Chain A
Amino acid sequence: MQKFTTHTGTGIPLRRNNIDTDQIIPSRFLKRVSRSGFEDALFAEWRKDPDFILNTAPYSGGSILVAGTDFGIGSSREHAVWGLLDYGIRVVVSARFADIFRGNSGKAGLLTVQVSEDDVDRLWDLLDREPQTDLLVDLSSQTITTPESVIKFDVDPYVKWRLEMGYDDISLTEQHADRIEAYERRRPGFLPDCRFQSA
């Protein structure tokens, strides 16, 4: 997993609440067999509209999505997180996230930043007025810095630590390799394996 310490980039004001994962990535893209290359699938239906924010410069090159409340509701598809990352989004800012989406994000290295609805409004206004504004997201101090203000955000300490170290769950578990081996030595000998002659 990519480490996350600080990130500076263009903010994308996506003024919609209740953005569900079906909108983030429509179901027809779930038939794919790859884990990468979902950038074209991100908001695929909405992007058909030439006025959609991601079709508008400079937002199309943005990397910090500032979205309405209850982002990521609906289906648990991990593809939603993959689509955002593949497009180049590193941070999603919202006043509230769906649990599963937030969990999936933490696994894949996408930072979800929860701030108040007022802060979201202020960010939207700023990004509308000054589209070229860079936002600075700093995980260790848990702040977003704009030319106008510094906004504090909350993040789960366990997830924060993992992101800062760049640990995904797998690399964390790999640190317990000796414990896994010790466990394997104690497993009863009668447990089955999946080796067959005539598969």
Chain B
Amino acid sequence: MGFTLAEKVWNNHIVHHEDGSPDLLYIDLHLVNEVTSPQAFEGLRNAGRMVRRPELTLAMEDHNVPTSGLDKPIDDPISALQVQTLRRNCAEFGVELFKMGGEEQGIVHVVGPQLGLTQPGMTIVCGDSHTSTHGAFGALAFGIGTSEAEHVLATQTLPAAPFKTMAVNIEGELPPGTSSKDVILALIAQIGTGGGQGYVLEYRGSAVEKMSMEARMTMCNMSIEAGARAGLISPDRTTLDYLKGRLKSPQGEAWDEAEALWLSLSTDPDATFDAEVTLDAGSIAPYVTWGTNPGQGIPITGSIPSPKDFEDERERKAAERALSYMGLEAGMAMKSVPVDTVFLGSCTNGRIEDLRTAAGVLNGRRIKPGMRMLVVPGSMKVKAQAEAEGLDQVFADAGAEWRFAGCSMCLGMNPDQVGPGERCASTSNRNFEGRQGLGSRTHLVSPAVAAATAIRGTISTPADLN
């Protein structure tokens, strides 16, 4: 019997297997940020350990850095200390660090792929749950805790518990105006925030084959919102075309060797999955969340559900709480919901294609008076590219703020926050209570919906603008 992509990558990385204990896996790339790493480095220091392979480790200032006024010191002393601590740790342990404002800086999940550091068949970990993004390349990529990060720093390996596999088949043609963000929101609405628990998801099918690498990254990014351990996609022509010529991609003969290996990783025809779910791409509409977890989403043409619609007692309670937190009435048309703030950015939708889509909608238009729209490129390279294409001007002319790269309003650890009771249409990935700031209300949307909503002031699609 054959193997799935995830199983092949796993098997290729087993350093040691022993019945009764977890497999010891080799880690090809370890990404580090300022928020979850300080204790891991301190642990090394206390035990007198070194970083085993500093050259397989990359550190990034992304979570709490400001996205404006980079010439001034960070206002919040605690954030400043976390950034300084990372700088000191990287200098001491010989780890490469991209500092805020630097040419290659950005959200680590945006930067890895654009440098060619993320390649098919690799194992990639980071003290951040959205590490699943890198699965778009056919890498096995997952988030880890602080002790595990220390373990990887010290040994470049990780003891890992076995997983189950789930095929997510997405067949057919996505309707115009929809994107992979809508697919993943629809999937989570269908299987729930715990639906992927214990599984590695493999996205397959004709709709996935047609997606760009950036669209695939958006989908893999949110695998974690379905409770999955990771999500991935078989490497194909699209993957190879994206990787060819990137700074860290193999060159010459090494490329040929790599290409042969990468293409051999696809799930074997006779491999079996532990579970399977199928989505009809043709029936997917733009999705918007109404509640306080990513599974509480509906098509944009729908209305806010009533708690009475839920049979399960716990879900009914959850819906009641969510509606009251979100300040919404059951039965309201989703498109009638007024919004104060629009956030375009994050490791989910902060890439150049996302910015192009939004700029295409905003071009020649103004956002609604009183609306605040923040455009935060996922990386400094994305920022430079957008500026070369004149997108920054489109955003500025429309009345949006053009910022430096970082996580920004996705989690509101820096000054970019949504105020108490304010409502935000956000291209990010989590709509938990208080995620974007104390008392903030978040609706997760695609870049196209974000842009149209900024113009009309209520949840909208580009088609509503005509």
A98: CB under 8 A from chain B? no
Contacts of A35 in B (CB 8 A): 38-39, 42-43, 46, 146
Q: Is the CB of A199 within 8 A of B102?
A: yes
Contact A78 B55 (CB under 8 A): no
- Cβ contact of B116, chosen from A104, A169, A173, A192, cutoff 8 A: A192
Q: Which residues of B contact A34 (CB under 8 A)?
A: 38-39, 42
Q: Are B159 and A173 in contact (CB under 8 A)?
A: yes
- Cα-based distance from A185 to B97 in the complex (angstroms): 26
Given A108-B147, A188-B258, also A194-B26 (CB < 8 A): no
How far, in angstroms, from A128 to B260 measured CA to CA in the complex? 70
Complex interface residues of chain A between 139 and 165 (CB less than 8 A to chain B): 158
Q: Which of B13-21, B327-335, B343-351, B357-365 contacts A (4 or more CB under 8 A)?
A: B13-21
Q: How far is the CB of A157 from chain B (nearest CB, A)?
A: 8
B156 to chain A, nearest CB (A): 7
Chain B, Cβ-Cβ closest to A162: B21
* Residue B401 interfacial (CB < 8 Å): no
Report the bound CA distance from A198 to B103 in whole Å.
8
A12-46: contact bitstring with B at CB < 8 Å (1 yes, 0 no)? 00000000000000000001111110000000000
Chain A residues, CB < 8 A from B95: 194
Chain A interface size, under 10 / 10 to 19 / 20 to 34 / 35 or more: 20 to 34
Of B77-85, B164-172, B291-299, B372-380, the one with at least 4 CB within 8 A of chain A: B77-85
Bound: A36/B46 CA distance, A: 10
Q: Nearest B residue to A182 by beta-carbon distance?
A: B15
Q: How far is the CA of A193 from the CA of B147 in the complex (A)?
A: 23
Contact of A195 among B39, B49, B55, B258 (CB under 8 A): B55
Q: Which residues of chain A are near B154, meaning CB under 8 Å? A: 170, 173-174
Query: Measured between C-beta atoms, what is the minimum distance from A183 to chain B in Å?
Result: 5
Decide if A57 is an interface residue (CB 8 Å cutoff): no
Contact of A78 among B29, B78, B102, B145 (CB under 8 A): B145
Q: Mark B211-251, 1 if CB is under 8 A from A, else 0.
A: 00000000000000000000000000000000000001110
Neighbouring A residues of B125 by C-beta, 8 Å: none
B26 touching A180, Cβ below 8 Å: yes
- Return chain A residues, CB-CB under 8 Å to B248: 192-193
User: Is B28 interfacial (CB-CB < 8 Å)?
Assistant: yes
Known interface pairs A176-B15, A176-B16, A180-B15; A31-B155 also in contact (CB < 8 Å): no
| Contact B39 A169, beta carbon cutoff 8 Å | no
Known contacts: A190-B254, A192-B117, A198-B104. The answer to whether A170 contacts B38 by CB under 8 A is no
Which residues of B in the span 39-93 have a Cβ within 8 Å of any Cβ on A?
A: 39, 42-43, 46-47, 49, 52, 55-58, 78, 81-82, 85
Is A48 interfacial (CB-CB < 8 Å)?
no
Closest A residue to B118 using CB positions: A192
Assembly CA distance A31 to B57 (angstroms): 23
On whether the beta carbons of B150 and A196 are closer than 8 Å, the reply is no
The minimal Cβ–Cβ distance linking B103 to chain A, given in whole angstroms, is 7
Q: Looking across the interface, which residue of chain A has its beta carbon closest to that of B58?
A: A194
CB-based contact B258/A170 at 8 Å: no
B97 contacts A190, CB within 8 Å?
no
A33 to B98, CA, bound (A): 19
On whether A194 and B147 interact (CB within 8 A), knowing A35-B42, A174-B155, the answer reads no
Q: Which of B99, B104, B155 contacts A170 (CB 8 A)?
A: B155
Residues of B within 8 A of A188 (CB): 257-258, 261
Given the complex, which residues of A lie within 8 Å of B258, measured CB to CB? 188, 190
Chain B residues numbered 424-442 whose CB sits less than 8 Å from any CB in chain A: none
Point out the residues of chain A lying under 8 angstroms from B29, CB to CB.
192, 194
Q: A33-B38, A34-B38, A180-B156 are in contact. List 4 more A-B contacts (CB 8 A).
A: A104-B145, A169-B151, A196-B96, A199-B98
Can you give 20 contacting A-B residue pairs, CB < 8 Å?
Answer: A35-B43, A35-B46, A36-B42, A36-B46, A158-B20, A158-B21, A169-B151, A170-B49, A173-B154, A173-B159, A174-B154, A179-B16, A180-B156, A187-B28, A190-B257, A194-B58, A195-B55, A199-B97, A199-B99, A199-B102
